[in-house]
Amino acid sequence: MQPHIRFSRTFIILGFAATLAACAGPGPRPDSDLQLATGSISQAEAADARQFEPVLLNQAQNKVADARELIDREEYREAERLLEQAAVDAQLAGARSETEKARRAVEEINANIENLRRQLEMDQQ
């Protein structure tokens, strides 16, 4: 075999091995996912999720804690998956909390309207 063909094959094999090794690596640190998840948790807490959706909020916080452990072990892909779930859980907790607060406000307004109707009826008699 000619030397330049041997060199080409070796170069191709080394290139393929390097590409394969890069794909099999842990991937990039999911720092932006961590920021998104923790930010989503903060927003959910600001929306009173601790009061209205404590289980869902705790699940999000637990997933972030688990993801941090995975990051320490350089298991970035699994950490990224957990962080994405945590962000969604926190966003859902916040949305459900806002919905519950709105529902309660509507109930209160309706009760006030009913009280005013009764007062008007009594005043007209």
The pLDDT tens digits of the residues spanning 24-78 come to 566 899 999 999 999 999 999 999 999 999 999 999 999 999 999 999 999 999 9
Amino acid identity at 44: A
**Taking a C-beta distance cutoff of 8 angstroms, is the pair 10, 29 a contact?**
no
What is residue 27's predicted lDDT score, i.e. its pLDDT? 83
Quote the mean pLDDT of the chain. Answer: 88
**Taking a C-beta distance cutoff of 8 angstroms, is the pair 29, 76 a contact?**
yes
**CATH classification of 30-124 is 1.20.120.640, yes or no?**
no
What is residue 15's predicted lDDT score, i.e. its pLDDT? 57
Q: Of 36, 27, 22, nearest to 71 (Cα)?
A: 27
Cα–Cα distance, 14 to 86 (Å, whole number): 40
Whether pTM exceeds 0.85: no
Average pLDDT estimate for 12-17 = 59
State the distance between the two ends of the chain, measured CA to CA, in whole angstroms: 113
What is residue 125's predicted lDDT score, i.e. its pLDDT? 79
Assess whether pLDDT exceeds 80 at residue 9.
Answer: no
**Taking a C-beta distance cutoff of 8 angstroms, is the pair 110, 59 a contact?**
no
8-state DSSP, 34 = H
